[in-house]
Homo-oligomer: A and B are copies of this chain.
Amino acid sequence: MSEWFVEEDNKEIRFSCKIDETLFEGKSDYQDVKVVNTLAYGKMLILDGCVMLTETDEFVYHELISHVPLCYHKNPKNVLVIGGGDGGTVREVLKHKEVEKVILCEIDKMVVDVSKKFFPEVAGELDNKRAEVFIGDGIDYIAKHENAFDIILVDSTDPVGPGEGLFTKDFYKSVSRALKPGGIVALQSESPWFKKAFLERIQNNVGGAFQHKKAYIGPVTSYPRGLWSWTMASHDATLFDAPNLQRFRAVSKGLKYLTEGMLTTVFDIPPFFKEKIKS
């Protein structure tokens, strides 16, 4: 008998994948954690019934959330990743030799453990000497740090459940304080196809804490509605002018999605999305 994983979005659409094998099912203090092997996407990490990553397309999300801010920053040395317990974002950050240290602050230890066991290609760099894993609440962690990071990447789940607090204006203000001068925050900011009010709220909250912000997009076809967005924010407008291509070229050989052309024009987003978020 065949089993299907089904993710339903807003009672309107369903994304279903045929499951070859269920590899792990657990319940952490925060969420249901599941790993399945699917015919279409290979291994898949599922949190509270939502796809977090698949081994075949995870590179799109992870390259976009990390290399865009890393290449637009002037001199990124200290990076903090909030969420992202699968380690994919940390793996991409560490491709930049200038980065001296990357700290991962993940609330759910089970996500880290399961990722290390079932997704070694994704989580493998969590054991890198330049990486440090801190299990704890991202909001508390950020509140305790001031002027500490060049880049903060908010690699969160959706603004429901454990990820909810990572989308508030207060949180972004806290992020702003935790950044050094010239610092950049980048966050996943949901699908451009989602409802205007929902997307606008995220953008308004970021805009309430940072003087400048720009969204960008990329295809994450295992997520609801297939197209995804990230938002980069800073107090320094000049950071958005142009990426450091020398820095990009130093890491580009190992990339599977992001190209120099895309990076250079990354903030030139589709008018339909621009209009929705008024940016």
Taking Cβ atoms with an 8 Å cutoff, the residues of A that contact B are 4, 9-18, 38-40, 56-57, 59-60, 193, 217, 219, 221, 225-227, 255-262, 264-272
Contacts and interface: CB of A to CB of B under 8 A. Distances in A.
Nearest to A268: B261
A10 B39 CA distance: 10
Given A268-B261, A271-B256, A272-B257, A14 B4 contact: yes
A228 to B, nearest CB: 9
B18 A15 contact: no
B271 A255 contact: yes
A270 B57 CA distance: 12
B12 A15 contact: no
A145 B11 CA distance: 50
Contact of A15 (B13, B59, B265): B13
A44 to B, nearest CB: 11
B270 A256 contact: yes
Which residue, of A57, A221, A261, A272, has the highest number of chain B Cβ atoms within 10 A?
Answer: A221
A18 B269 CA distance: 29
A148 to B, nearest CB: 34
A61 to B, nearest CB: 13
A120 B57 CA distance: 37
Contact of A16 (B13, B39, B225, B269): B13
A268 B259 contact: yes
A201 to B, nearest CB: 20
A40 B271 contact: no
Given A257-B271, A258-B270, 18 more contacts: A4-B14, A9-B40, A11-B18, A12-B39, A12-B40, A14-B15, A14-B16, A15-B16, A40-B225, A56-B193, A226-B226, A257-B272, A259-B265, A259-B269, A259-B271, A261-B265, A262-B268, A264-B265
A92 B105 CA distance: 48
B13 A40 contact: yes
Contacts of A271: 255-257, 259
Contacts of A217: 219
Nearest to A265: B261
Contacts of A17: 12-14
A-B pairs, top 4 by smallest CB distance, nearest first, are: A261-B265, A261-B268, A226-B226, A221-B226
Nearest to A218: B219
Contacts of A259: 265, 268-271
A134 to B, nearest CB: 32
A171 to B, nearest CB: 29
